[in-house]
Amino acid sequence: MKPINEYTNETILSAELIAEVFAENDKMKREELLAQLGARARTLRCKTEFTNMVKTYQAVKKEAQAQERSSQKNRTNLLDCPLGCQLDSGMWRVTDGGIFYDSDRICYQPILITARFRNIETGEEQVELAFKRRGNWEKVIVPKTVVASANKIVGLSGKGVAVTSETAKYLVQYLSDIENLNEDIVPMLDSSHKLGWVKNCFVPYDSQKVIFDARSNYSQLYDSVCEQGNYDVWLKHIRELRKSGRIEVKFMLAASFASVLIDPLGGLPFIADLWGETEGGKTVTLMLAASVWANPDESKYIGDFKSTDVALEAKADVLNSLPMILDDTSKTSARIRDNFEGVVYDLCSGKGKSRSNKNLGVNRENHWANCILCNGERPLTSYVNQGGAINRILEIECGEKVFANPQKTVPILKANYGHAGRRFVEIIKEMGVDRIRAIYEEIREKLYDASKMEKQMASLATVLTADKIVTDMIFGDQQYIPIDQAKEILVNHIDLSDNERAYQFLLEKVKRNPSRFTQSGSGKNASSLVSNEVRCEQWGIIEKDLVYFYNSSFEELCNDGHFSKKAFLSWASRKNLILCDNSKGRKTKQKKIGNSNIRCICLKLDLEMWDGGFQSVPDVGVQEVLPFYEVTGRNGR
């Protein structure tokens, strides 16, 4: 180079001069030359142009170096690569000591993408990362969006990945290169966040075809679905229990197996409820049902109602075909207790609620096809009123001491489980849907009773189909659930009809509340046992075998019993249980009360139920009180 003072505007801005400066290997000498040239450029009033020339040259040189590095064919140098072969690492050097970029280490551990997954339901992709920690390879499945974002990939530090906010952008670029340079080596597999039937495969048993990709969110549930202990020990003990003839054991066991038949048979989810007094063996029976598929220990596979409806929906979606087992219906959260009927409908519909997202679109709907097993000291139907909900429940009363020696049964179940579920899935695959459906149709024909509900018969037929298959091909003990005994579970149309129950409810209200009605023509209360010192709000008038309800009182009674006034009156009109004026299709009838004509609901009394008229009541203190009662003293004061 010539002396600095000899450079002019033209020569100081030449590319040759800049190249000559950057050819200097000594960094201190190079910086000194740049400073002197910068001062000369300021004197020549071209400092800005000179600075831009230097920056441009640095950018071009860096890009050239990057292209040169990318053209290099580096390969990982690992002692035990999880994929069984070394991968193309491009410009990155990967050893057991970490990942290097030039001479800089960007990560203190080797990390590889060992598998890619495409979710069958959503189409979204995930990747399996393998990283070495304390000499051992560990794996984690994460959404692809995590490894594509420097902000999100930092979160993997919680999983044991050595990444910081400073190295995150390099790790993102490295993983992108590893995936794209090794597409023919890193496998692309089908995956699902559901257990059970997925595309004619059964997760997790067909893991070579479909992978469960939601383990990070449901690790406790997924890890419990496994095989442990000795199948023969479990089988021998269950045969002994079945020989006792207890319907509770055989039915809940069959319902657990039946859960995976609902989807092949095109059925709807249903609830199998075991109820009875404490110490009967209800919880142990649920553990027995759970041991077919998973670990029956506390806080493993078995859950409870101490949750939210959204959480139950999410769990049902993941279980998909496997039974959802919930212990003790009395352990309900406030949200579920206030809407138990809605929860029953939702679980038995097999489909979750539609929910919008922040983009004003609709999220994927949850769906499932399984059986829900539960227990409690009260029947589940005591928590619900509508017939549609009751129609989806099969109830078994738990007698005393189901298990002669529960202290022997529980340890066996906790140590030996999960084998029967895999065996049952293999059996139904071998049988095929047509053969299973033939068994189902034969059993349903035997169950058919015009007085019973169709949905309940279909659910019960599914349970009995599973019972026949496992009795013949797993237990081989001829301990079938008797058809006649199974029929006792079914509910009659009359008992299940909302309107039938509404009619009985109203008659009971009339019978138990004589002081609320006046006998026509007497002007007195229908019960002579009610003190004249107390006058209650009147609901209507009784005239022979007819009850005239005031409109507002009738509506309040219907609301009190959670019945639809409109639906009941329509049904009662068809059944000829009400008298009404035919004009304008009204369901009311005019009644002269005092000097006024009032439109009332005129209900016919069921004389068989009435059986002697009003109940005797000892005094007003035992009179049933409703929220809208108005009690006044003598003369209205």
Structure confidence by residue, pLDDT tens digits, 304-358: 888 888 889 999 999 999 999 999 888 777 777 777 778 888 888 888 877 776 6
Q: How many CB atoms lie within 10 A of CB 513?
A: 22
Position 439 pLDDT exceeds 80: yes
Please provide the DSSP assignment of 206-244 as one string: TTTTEEE--TTTSHHHHHHSS-BS-HHHHHHHHHHHHHT
Structure tokens at 12: 């100081």
Structure confidence by residue, pLDDT tens digits, 513-545: 888 888 765 555 544 434 444 467 889 998 888
Give the model's pLDDT for residue 520: 65
What are all long-range contacts of 618-627, with beta carbons under 8 Å and residues at least 24 apart? 618/529, 619/529, 619/531, 620/515, 620/530, 620/531, 620/534, 623/513, 623/515, 623/530, 623/536, 624/509, 624/512, 624/513, 626/556, 626/560, 627/560
Position 201 pLDDT exceeds 90: yes
Give the model's pLDDT for residue 166: 92
Amino acid at 71: S
- State mean pLDDT over 481-506: 82
> Parallel, antiparallel, or unpaired for β 596-604 and 589-593?
antiparallel
Position 217 pLDDT exceeds 90: no
The DSSP bridge partners found for residue 127 are 116, 142
Which pTM was predicted?
A: 0.71
Structure tokens at 96: 């057991």
d(CA 319, CA 111): 32
Position 69 pLDDT exceeds 80: no
Structure confidence by residue, pLDDT tens digits, 377-403: 888 877 776 666 778 889 998 888 889
Position 100 pLDDT exceeds 90: yes
The DSSP bridge partners found for residue 603 are 547, 578
Average pLDDT score, the chain? 85
Q: How many CB atoms lie within 10 A of CB 118?
A: 15
Q: How many CA atoms lie within 13 A of 230 on its CB side?
A: 6
Q: How many CB atoms lie within 10 A of CB 185?
A: 15
Question: Cβ distance 44 to 64 under 8 Å?
Answer: no
Structure confidence by residue, pLDDT tens digits, 588-614: 888 888 788 888 999 998 765 555 455
More confident residue, 533 or 450: 450
Name, in order, each residue with C-beta under 8 angstroms of 516's C-beta and a sequence gap of 6 or more. Answer: 536, 537, 538, 539, 540
Nearest to 318 by CA among 222, 206, 424: 222
More confident residue, 340 or 569: 569
Matching residue, tokens 């939210």: 308
